[in-house]
Amino acid sequence: MDAKEKRAALGIAVRRRREEQGLSQQRLALMMGSSKSHIWRIETGRVSVGIDDLIRIADALDARVGDFIAF
């Protein structure tokens, strides 16, 4: 699995968790102090995710960082 595939897998995991909680991208962005477009880029694998963003996502979604990384 290359880096592009890993970003895509991470994005899918974030989107799945967000949708399970009934949250919009806008709501998640507000919860983590980000923008809707940044969440979209993460969920579509178009941007690398730093550890700080990953921690904020996990905190906002009441998850562990490891829940989003299956590789």
CATH topology of domain 3-66: 434 Repressor (Amino-terminal Domain) (1.10.260)
Beta-carbon-side half-sphere exposure of residue 33 (alpha carbons within 13 Å): 6
pLDDT at 70: 79
| Contact yes or no for 29/38 (Cβ under 8 A) | yes
CA–CA–CA angle 52, 42, 26 (5° rounding): 90
Where would I find the beta strands (DSSP E) of the chain?
none
pTM value is 0.92
- Any idea where the domains of the chain sit in the sequence? 3-66
Given a cut of 90, whether residue 71 has pLDDT beyond it is no
Interval 43-66: pLDDT, tens: 999 999 999 999 999 999 999 999
Model confidence pLDDT, tens digit, residues 6-31 = 999 999 999 999 999 999 999 999 99
CA distance 71 to 60: 22
Question: Per-residue pLDDT for 42 more than 80?
Answer: yes
